C-alpha cells in the first residue's frame, strides 16, 4: 500500500499537535529546504552531489551513523560542500521501539561517526529526523531534554517505493509551497532515482522562484533566533 495520498492530510493535523518540531518554514518567504535521508550511499550520493554542484544548491542530509562509518569520505565531501547535516539514527530503527538509553546511544554513535568523518563536534549536529517519521510525545520529550531539535517535513513524495521519476517530480510540484521541507532519499531505498529526480526537479523549482536553504535557516525564520546556537557555531567553524 502506498501512503502518499495520506501525507498532505496528516501534515495539517500533526503540525499544530507537535509545535516544537520543525514541519516547515515561513509561509511568507520563497525559501524551501531540500533534504535527503538514509545516506550517505557509496553510489547514489556522489551522483546526487554532482547535480547539487551543477546548480550550486545547498541541501540537507539526515544521516545514518552506520552509513557514515561505511562511507566516511563521501560524508566529508558533503560536509566540505557546505550542506547541512542532521541525524537519522544509527541504523534506521524506529525511535518509539527503542528504550531511552538505546535511542540516546543511537544518536550519540551517529554524532561520533560524523565527528570522525567530518570533524563536526556533536554540539554542531543536533537536528534529528525520526526514521519513517515515527515518534511519540515521549520520544519528543527525550529529544528536547537531550538538546536535540526534531525536524519533520511537509512534502513527502514517497520516492522510496520508486513510483517513477515523473511521479515523484509531479508530487513535489503539486505539494510545494513557501517554506516547504521536501524529503527525498539517497540511501538504499529510493536512492537509485535520486540524482535523476533532483536533476529534473531543481530547474522547475528555480523557475517558480524558490530559493534553497538549510534547515537551520528555516529554524531561524520561525523562531527569530537560533535558540540552540548550532547555526552560529557551524558558521564560524566550517563556513
| pLDDT tens digits along 179-206 | 999 999 999 999 999 999 999 999 999 9
Determine, yes or no, domain membership for 6.
no
Active site residue 228: no
Q: Rounding to the nearest 10 degrees, give the CA dihedral for residues 234, 53, 218, 126.
A: -40
User: Does 235 have pLDDT greater than 70?
Assistant: no
Of residues 41, 83, 88, 185, which has the active-site annotation? Answer: 185
Domain count, the chain: 1
CATH number, position 154: 3.20.20.370
Instruction: Give CA separation, 120 vs 64, 73, 159, 235, in Å.
Output: 15, 14, 29, 12
Determine, yes or no, domain membership for 223.
yes
Cα–Cα distance between 74 and 165 in angstroms, integer? 24
Range of the domain at 229: 27-237
Of residues 37, 159, 186, 216, which has the active-site annotation? Answer: 37
* Residues shown for the chain: 239
Determine, yes or no, domain membership for 91.
yes
Cα–Cα distance between 146 and 108 in angstroms, integer? 11
| pLDDT tens digits along 149-184 | 999 999 999 999 999 999 999 999 999 999 999 999
Please give the radius of gyration of the chain, using alpha carbons only, rounded to the nearest integer.
16
Mean pLDDT of 8-30: 87
Amino acid at each position: 500500500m502506498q501512503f502518499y495520498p495520506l501525507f498532505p492530510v496528516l501534515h495539517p493535523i500533526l503540525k499544530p499537535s507537535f509545535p516544537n518540531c520543525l514541519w516547515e518554514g515561513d509561509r511568507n518567504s520563497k525559501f524551501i529546504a531540500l533534504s535527503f535521508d538514509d545516506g550517505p550511499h557509496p553510489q547514489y550520493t556522489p551522483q546526487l552531489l554532482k547535480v547539487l554542484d551543477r546548480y550550486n544548491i545547498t541541501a540537507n542530509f539526515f544521516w545514518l551513523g552506520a552509513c557514515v562509518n561505511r562511507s566516511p569520505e563521501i560524508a566529508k565531501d558533503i560536509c566540505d560542500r557546505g550542506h547541512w547535516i542532521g541525524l537519522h539514527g544509527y541504523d534506521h530503527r524506529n525511535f518509539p521501539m527503542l528504550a531511552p538509553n538505546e535511542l540516546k546511544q543511537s544518536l550519540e554513535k551517529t554524532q561520533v561517526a560524523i565527528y570522525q568523518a567530518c570533524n563536526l563536534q556533536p554540539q554542531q549536529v543536533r537536528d534529528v529526523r525520526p526514521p519513517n517519521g515515527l515518534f511519540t510525545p515521549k520520544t519528543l520529550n527525550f529529544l528536547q531534554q537531550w538538546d536535540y531539535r526534531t525536524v519533520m517535513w511537509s512534502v513527502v513524495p514517497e520516492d522510496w517505493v520508486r513510483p517513477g521519476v515523473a511521479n515523484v517530480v509531479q508530487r513535489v510540484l503539486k505539494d510545494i509551497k513557501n517554506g516547504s521541507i521536501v524529503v527525498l532519499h539517497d540511501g538504499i531505498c529510493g536512492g537509485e532515482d535520486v540524482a535523476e529526480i533532483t536533476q529534473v526537479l531543481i530547474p522547475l523549482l528555480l523557475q517558480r522562484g524558490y530559493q534553497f536553504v538549510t534547515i537551520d535557516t528555516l529554524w531561524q525564520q520561525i523562531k527569530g533566533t537560533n535558540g540552540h546556537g548550532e547555526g552560529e557555531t557551524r558558521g564560524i567553524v566550517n563556513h
